[in-house]
Structures are given as structure tokens and as C-alpha cells.
Structure 1
């Protein structure tokens, strides 16, 4: 997973990919909807929804993470685009060797995601995004502790 709030790949994996000339398809660019700008704490609580057990979507963590989304919302509004488009464009701006993989449940969300292709982030935009969502700003891990132990990208 690679997104504004899941950036551990930048430490070891991404440098090796670049050294070897290997591109990366980045999944989870909206962090299961958390940084889409459309998710709120009343969603994802249905039985069987992964987010109901994900630490990033629990208790104080979700409040802290939604505060990051609100900071992104300010940046998005200034550019006249959506939070999701900012989040996807940020991933794309990390290098031509990174391709953001998006998922959509509706055609409207697909159109929104594809609209990120037209979002140009300047150096000032990228600095503002980094200030709003620093590398380790996300509260809570991507998965429960037992699952995290099995992820190579997190060690």
C-alpha cells in the first residue's frame, strides 16, 4: 500500500525498485477510502467491513486521521479539486515510475479518480501537502498487530 498516510515503502522498498529500474503500481492510494474526502466515522461499521477492525478507523485514531483529511480539503479547495484527486495526484507526483491504482464503487467516483490525471501539483502544492500530512502523521497501523507482523514493507 502506498498513499499519503502509508509511506513506509519510501524507506527501503522504493529506493531498491528505483535502483533496479522497476516501476511500482501503488494500491490503496485512498487508504480504503479514509483519505478520499468522502468517508466519515459513521461509515464502515457494518459487519464484515474491514475498516471496522482496522486500527486507523478506530477510536481516537480515526479522529486524528480525519483531521488530516480536513487539512487536505483546504488544499483541494484552493485548487478547485477534490480531496481524492489531491491524494491520487500526490502519489502520481512521487515519480513517473509510480502508477496509482484506484478502485471505485460508482462511475462518479471513477470519473473523480480519473480527474486526478489533470491535477498538476507544483512544488509549493507538494510542500503544503507534506506540511498538512507529514510522513508519519497517520494514527494507527494499517492492520491489526498480528497481521502487521507479516508485512515485509513494515519492518
Structure 2
């Protein structure tokens, strides 16, 4: 015969696991959506985003100087707000994953383009580089979101 506290513990563990399975992906989408929306909205206003200079220089480098300054900043803002809207719509998990991974790859390019600023020694990342490296979590989240498509899980 099982002891009552063991049964309660197992039952609580089962409920927690079930909750995590049901709420995990929606919470992930909401969390990422809020972050993308927040960062995107900040980029709408000159000087409001601490990443503005890096964004403008990166977009300019990637477009060989064709897109720069305010246009680069606004393009990044619109892109991030668009990604946020897809995340928060709870639709199109495949598209959502592609957008997240594409964005993570593009915003990681300063690690190479501006390596002298990003790294003071091997594995010694600047604050900006650490900010960029957190996108590894975004890629993992994109994979989880893509798995939420019907029939994948």
C-alpha cells in the first residue's frame, strides 16, 4: 500500500508536468513576443534603443551601405514588431520558427563583422556580444515552437 504523502506528491508532479506540457509553448510565444515587441517599439524612436548604433552599423554593412541610419533602424523595428505579432498570434508555428532563426542569424553577424569590438580575447565577449549570444536561446525556442505544429509532437 502506498503512503498518502507519496500519492499526493506523485499527483502534484503529474499535474505540474501536464500544466507545463499545455502551457509551455504558449508561455514561450508570449514571452518572446513581448520581448520582440518591446525591443522593436524602442527602435521606432531615435535614441531609445541601446542597440541603435550597432543595428545601424550592422544593417549598413550587410547592405553594403545602401541602407543606413534611420532607415536601418526603422527596418529593424518593423521586422521585430512583425515577428512579435506572428508570435502573439499563436498561428503559423513553422513561419514563426523561420522568422526567429533568420532574425537570430542576422543579428549575430556583428560577432564576425565587428569582431574587434565584440571579443577582447578568445571566449571573452563584450557586453554587446553577450547580448547577441543570448540568441542561442531564441534558436532553441524557435525549434520548440516549430515542434508545436499539429502532428509533430
> Fold match, TM over 0.5?
no
Using structure 1 for the length normalisation, give the TM-score: 0.31
Bigger relative contact order (CA 8 A; separation at least 6): 1
Using structure 2 for the length normalisation, give the TM-score: 0.31
